[in-house]
């Protein structure tokens, strides 16, 4: 059986990618965490590796038997990047170069990027819109994209926004956090002036599978059908999970005092995915209902 390499296999998207590809391929997962910590480790061959260390990455068996390699590893702490820019660039830019040095020339590299490469002033955005990254996180992600696009490697760039979904031991999961807070009767403050069309991780894994299968090189956007504020997103979560939406209070981004700039009017236009590959873009509520089924299956 052919194999696929998944870097960042223990992250939210990584876990969903492992489940998706384990159905048809031998999965070789790479991550920074020790082995046998996650249930999904039974679905793959796992190697512990710091991808910012080129010497460690060179020991991973990326060969011509690979259908593709998927880089789902990233430094995603947007505010943390402002004070730890070295680490952000190591993971989001330099690690891409390390991967390019060990991957065979004919093996596609799928790179998971972000809507943050746009400035968020006039979204939603198409794949061809001009980029204008704001802040360290955004710039480091765009630099990683450029490295890949300029390398000559077969490249598939996938840009989600406000990624959410189900997984084990997640350090950050907006839906799981919100559901937990509301179930405990805690009041929460959610910004009402940041707009996106959130991306469901399980369906994003399906999209990546489709793109690889179709050898669909280039940049691709994926999110839900509607662009909504974070506050509206939270209200929809409360509705689907049958929780008290009255505990959710709208606030402005300015009130949070965050270090890094956020794309305020963002979102991703997914027409290319629909027109070229016939993949359906679903309403946000439908995807949240799918997530609820996934979270409480069995």
244-279 residue pLDDT tens: 999 999 999 999 888 999 999 999 999 999 999 999
| The pLDDT value given to residue 34 | 86
Domains and CATH numbers, the chain: 3-164+198-223+269-277 (3.40.50.720), 174-195+227-267+282-295 (3.90.25.10)
Which is it for the CA torsion 217, 222, 195, 85, positive or negative? negative
Give the whole-angstrom CA distance, residue 282 versus residue 159: 17
11-30 pLDDT, tens per residue? 999 999 999 999 999 999 99
**Residue 64: band (very low, low, confident or very high) from pLDDT cuts 50, 70, 90:** confident
% of the chain surpassing 70 pLDDT: 99
Mean pLDDT of 231-241: 98
Whether the pLDDT of residue 298 is over 70: the answer is no
Q: Is 279 a catalytic residue?
A: no
Q: Are 14 and 29 in contact (CB under 8 A)?
A: yes
Q: What is the pLDDT of residue 176?
A: 87
The catalytic position among 46, 89, 125, 137 is: 137
pTM above 0.95, yes or no: yes
Whether residue 148 has pLDDT greater than 70: yes
Q: How confident is the model at residue 172 (pLDDT cuts 50, 70, 90)?
A: confident
The mean per-residue pLDDT over the stretch 146-172 comes to 94
Mean pLDDT score of the chain: 95
Q: How far is CA 17 from the centre of its chain?
A: 11
Other Cβ atoms less than 10 A from the Cβ of 255: the count is 10
- pLDDT given at position 194: 97
């Amino acid at each position: 059986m052919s194999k696929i390499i998944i870097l960042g296999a223990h992250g939210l998207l990584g876990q969903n990618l492992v489940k998706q590809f384990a159905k048809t391929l031998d999965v070789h997962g790479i991550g920074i965490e020790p082995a046998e910590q996650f249930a999904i480790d039974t679905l793959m061959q796992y190697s512990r590796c710091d991808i910012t260390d080129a010497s460690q990455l060179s020991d991973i068996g990326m060969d011509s038997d690979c259908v593709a390699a998927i880089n789902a590893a990233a430094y995603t702490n947007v505010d943390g990047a402002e004070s730890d820019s070295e680490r952000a660039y190591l993971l989001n830019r330099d690690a891409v170069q390390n991967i390019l040095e060990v991957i065979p020339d004919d093996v596609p590299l799928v790179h998971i990027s972000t809507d943050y490469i746009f400035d968020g002033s006039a979204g939603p955005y198409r794949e061809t819109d001009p980029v204008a990254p704001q802040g360290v996180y955004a710039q480091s992600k765009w630099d990683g994209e450029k490295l890949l696009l300029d390398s000559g490697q077969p490249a598939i760039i996938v840009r989600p926004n406000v990624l959410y979904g189900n997984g084990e031991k997640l350090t950050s999961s907006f839906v799981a956090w919100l559901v937990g807070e509301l179930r405990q009767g805690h009041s929460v403050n959610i910004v009402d002036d940041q707009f996106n069309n959130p991306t469901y991780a399980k369906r994003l894994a399906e999209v990546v599978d489709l793109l690889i299968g179709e050898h669909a090189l280039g940049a691709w956007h994926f999110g839900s059908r509607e662009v909504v504020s974070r506050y509206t997103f939270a209200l929809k979560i409360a509705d689907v999970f049958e929780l008290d939406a009255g505990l959710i209070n709208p606030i402005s981004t300015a009130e949070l005092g965050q270090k890094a700039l956020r794309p305020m009017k963002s979102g991703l236009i997914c027409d290319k995915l629909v027109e070229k590959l016939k993949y359906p873009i679903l309403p946000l509520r439908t995807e949240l209902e799918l997530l609820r089924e996934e979270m409480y299956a069995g």
